[in-house]
Chain A
Amino acid sequence: MSRSSKRLYDVVDSAAGHMLRASVIERLAIATASIALALLIGVGIVAAAGYDPVAFLTSLVEGAIGGQSAIARTLRFSTLFILTGVAVAVAFRAGVFNIGVQGQFVVGGFATIMSIIRTAPLLPEGVVGGVGLLLVGFAAGACAGGVYGAFPGALKAYADANVIITTIMLNFIATGVVGWLVQNPFRGEGNTAPNTERIPEYVSLPRIVFDSPGFSIVGLGIALATVAVIFVVMERSRFGYDMVTSGHQQSAATYSGVGAKRTIVLTMTLSGMVAGVAGAVFAIMIQGYYTDPSGIGTYGFDAIAVSLLAANNPLGIVPAGLLFGGLDSAGSHIGIYTDVPVQLIDGVIGLVILFVSVPELFRMAAQRTGLGGESR
């Protein structure tokens, strides 16, 4: 008991240390300044295009944090960005470039819905059955995502196939196959749209705080818990040390007895499992059924930017995910409440992301090449 509480204390302690390091504050300051500069330029462009810059800026803030429903929408997006971002970060830290989080996300989400639909008749209705089905769904999502990640990992380890290429291709395959499955064998009875049946009403994450559709604080809790678990795995476990060491210096990892092939497969499995959990949260919290994945958003791709922005640090994923969530939420709000065309909104959001990530990219490039000295 005392030992485990000591360990917990150590984790919290070092987590706080990571958060409070001067460089973190510095990064936040740089990020804030970058956002301001990008918005200034963006607003200038909006004005030059003949739209009202003040209305644009107001609805941007309103859309991100203006009221309960805006905040709920921001957190809904952020939840998904945090989960998929962590999935990417796990792999990138280990030096494995998993571009396939989108595919693992899709496969995980589809497996979640199908497993719940197929298991539902076997369990009692109501709260007990609901919790049981949630567990079944999350387990199925994590397993399916993990297997779908392990596959390109094994191809890399045992057939020397380039992970970037295989994972990109597997994204297309996941989207195509799941799209066909929901169109044909698994289309819900009487549905004209390519959708599966709905999962039962009693299988849902309770809202508790925000009374807004498509968001549950429990979903955000799952995301933050995942961040914590991954942080502990990376910083405290042998597997994490082996993995991160492989990412830093493969030859040193091999020297210390780490099997390179096994580590690649395990890394991709873990990364895919987190992506699968993200898919499960998306499927249960937002949709309640599964649909053609070509139309569900590109969380798995945006996650790469989220992870890079956070320098692949699991704790950094939280603020990075919040920023991306806020921008997406603001974007959809502006689209509805102003006459600024969606292309221009996306352009301004892209500008913000670009400005925020550029210092991070420079920093990572400098670290990789050893240029620029110790302090930037």
Chain B
Amino acid sequence: MEGITKRFGDVVANDDVDFSLEKGSIHALLGENGSGKTTLMSVLYGLYEKNAGTIHVDGEPRAFGSPRDAMDAGIGMIHQHFQLVETMTVLQNVVLGHEPTDNGLVDMSAARNDIEDICSRYQFGVDQFLDTKVQELDLGARQRVEIVKSLYRGADILILDEPTAVLTPQEIAELLDVMAELANAGHSLIFITHKLGEALDAADEITVLRDGEAIGTVDSGETSESELARMMVGREVQFDRPPRDAPRGDPVLDAEQLHVRGSRGLEQVSGVDVTVREGEILGIAGVQGNGQTELVEALTGLRDIDAGSVQFSGEDITDTNRRQRIDAGIAYIPENRTTEGLVQEYTLVRNALLGNQTVEPFVDNGMIDWAAVQRHAEEIIREYDVQPPNEDAEAKSLSGGNQQKFIVGREIEHAPDVMIASHPTRGVDIGSIEFIHDRLLELREAGMGIVVVSSKLDEIQKLADRIAVMYEGEFMATVEPTETTEEELGMLMTGHGPDDASGGVKS
């Protein structure tokens, strides 16, 4: 694949990406969520049409209009969410859409033989389930069924999209064995992941994507986790850490021994303690997908917790919901501005009410005063330099940076006691980044307690007074930004330490 570019409206998901896969090898595609991995593979698989670039398979230039074309060219994709009919048997699922026919009737016995052949060649252990319904299988077995399905359709190139996300550690080990075996048999595999360790273990080559661009391709034998982490997280702007000496106040938000499950039911946060004081910024660093999202949602009241407690200004708020926490004074700049922070089809006026539905003067006795909301929207646009300055524009017509400035403005204008900012500058232009950083630092000077979650180390180092590094649902360590180095943070982010790390202090 050469020079692949894919745009969704104004958003560039893949920017001039080159990618090449050697026959009989495993190539990992590594990057954070939203870095464009799945988009790139969806272009290859014919799900999306590319805006520019060329694809060659075995030296032939190809263009796939649909997954069916890609399948015919020997490319199979195993999606993150399995594409199986749960109420049908494994055999039926495998042949679905590619039924061998004999005089117009489906020849199941021929199919059965072919599938048993495939299974015995790679020792999949799927043949014993052929007549079992998919809904009775565990996730690891379902994934092997998906692989068998692709092989049955004649796939030489297999794309596995985050295959380990839903598996237990034992299942992951089995999957990596299966992948190695397939590569030995001459198949070529693309392994999409955001986990560094798995990429290093499984792949021959690793290509790192960041913000839609291919940062580089390295040999897995010649690289290290910390190098990969640096490539993934990147360094865009050189930030100077402003000097500060304001005394820290009392703890305002205090969570103890939080245990939180993710959307798929697996525990994503395992026994985390968080303390935020007045007038400080707590930075939470880490490669995305290590439980930061779930932690933030537990703190803001969007996700139930399994165990632990959350205290706010000395009161137990563990059982309160999001709206009660908004009223209490916990503002939240969400991770995803397009799906959470703004209703895309609403004007900025209507969006100015989002999260303010219980705040006077905008709403009084359950009735909305749109004139007051309109004035509020105009104020946010003026104070936070939102372009274009038109409160009747729909949110989706604004650029990412301006959407984010609007959200930041709206949340700050709540006059909260605690601000939780999740990736506050992701995908935002440099000018807006500086602007948002300055505002957060001002709030800190004014005595607010702030949590900043980011996977950008430079951002964390610039803003934070303390840095907690999160890895696989736990805080590896909490360190002082002035006493740590990027290397040390990189090690912590990949699960080494805190013993290996110097300068760590207890939280």
Contacts and interface: CB of A to CB of B under 8 A. Distances in A.
A241 interface: yes
A251 B323 CA distance: 14
Contacts of A192: none
Nearest to B357: A238
B367 A257 contact: no
Contact of A251 (B322, B340, B370): B340
Given A252-B343, A252-B354, A237 B366 contact: yes
A348 B323 CA distance: 52
A10 B370 CA distance: 9
A255 B332 contact: yes
A255 B321 contact: no
Nearest to A6: B371
A245 B322 contact: no
B266 to A, nearest CB: 20
Contacts of B370: 10, 236
Interface in B304-324: 321-323
A238 B367 contact: yes
Given A241-B353, A241-B357, A255 B341 contact: yes
Interface string B150-180: 0000000000000000000000000000000
A239 interface: yes
B326 A249 contact: no
Contacts of B358: 238, 257
Contacts of A7: 367
A10 B343 CA distance: 24
B339 A249 contact: yes
Nearest to A251: B339
Interface in B182-199: none
Nearest to A254: B302
Contact of A252 (B323, B326, B339): B339
A255 B354 contact: yes
B355 A239 contact: no
B334 interface: yes
Contact of B367 (A237, A248, A249, A252): A237
A309 B334 CA distance: 36
B354 A256 contact: yes
Interface-centre pick from A245, A259, A367 (highest chain B CB count, 10 A): A245
Contacts of B368: 236-238, 241
Interface in B338-369: 339-346, 350, 353-358, 363, 366-368
Given A10-B370, A248-B343, A256 B355 contact: yes
Contact of B343 (A236, A245, A257): A245
A242 B323 CA distance: 12
Contacts of B371: 10
Interface residues of A, number: 20
A257 B334 CA distance: 13
Contacts of B344: 249
Contacts of B340: 251-252, 254-255
A258 interface: yes
A124 to B, nearest CB: 37
Interface-centre pick from B322, B344, B350, B354 (highest chain A CB count, 10 A): B354
Interface string A225-267: 0000000000011110110010011011011111100000000
Contacts of B354: 245, 252, 255-256
A251 B353 CA distance: 15
B141 to A, nearest CB: 25
A367 B368 CA distance: 26
B366 A257 contact: no
A219 to B, nearest CB: 28
Contacts of B342: 252
A316 to B, nearest CB: 18
A249 B342 CA distance: 9
A252 B407 CA distance: 12
Contacts of A255: 302, 322, 332, 334, 340-341, 354-355
Interface-centre pick from A10, A237, A255 (highest chain B CB count, 10 A): A255
Nearest to B350: A241
Contact of B357 (A236, A254, A256, A367): A256
Contacts of B325: 257
B269 to A, nearest CB: 19
Contacts of A237: 366-368
Nearest to A4: B367
A241 B356 CA distance: 11
Contact of A257 (B321, B341, B350): B321
Interface in A246-291: 248-249, 251-252, 254-259
A162 to B, nearest CB: 16
Contacts of A241: 350, 353, 357, 368
Interface-centre pick from A10, A239, A251, A367 (highest chain B CB count, 10 A): A251
Contacts of B332: 255
B321 A242 contact: no
Interface string A1-19: 0000001001000000000
B280 to A, nearest CB: 25
B363 A238 contact: yes
Contacts of B321: 257, 259
Interface in A153-189: none
A237 B341 CA distance: 21
Contacts of A248: 343, 345-346
A242 B354 CA distance: 9
B326 A257 contact: yes
Interface string A342-376: 00000000000000000000000001000000000
B100 to A, nearest CB: 35
A255 B336 CA distance: 10
Nearest to A262: B321
Contacts of A251: 336, 339-340
A327 to B, nearest CB: 32
A257 B345 contact: no
Nearest to B8: A370
A251 B354 CA distance: 12
Contacts of B334: 255
Interface string B229-252: 000000000000000000000000
A9 to B, nearest CB: 11
Contacts of B323: 257-259
Contacts of A10: 370-371
Nearest to B300: A255
A257 B325 CA distance: 9
Interface-centre pick from A251, A252, A259 (highest chain B CB count, 10 A): A252
29 contacts: A7-B367, A10-B370, A10-B371, A236-B370, A237-B368, A238-B357, A238-B366, A238-B367, A241-B350, A241-B353, A242-B357, A245-B343, A248-B346, A249-B339, A249-B343, A251-B336, A252-B339, A252-B340, A252-B342, A254-B340, A255-B322, A255-B334, A255-B354, A256-B322, A256-B326, A257-B322, A257-B325, A257-B357, A258-B323
Interface of B: 301-302, 321-323, 325-326, 332, 334, 336, 339-346, 350, 353-358, 363, 366-368, 370-371
Cβ-closest 9 pairs across A and B: A257-B323, A255-B340, A257-B322, A256-B355, A251-B339, A256-B354, A249-B343, A252-B343, A238-B357
Given A237-B368, A251-B339, A256-B357, 5 more contacts: A10-B371, A245-B343, A255-B332, A256-B354, A257-B323
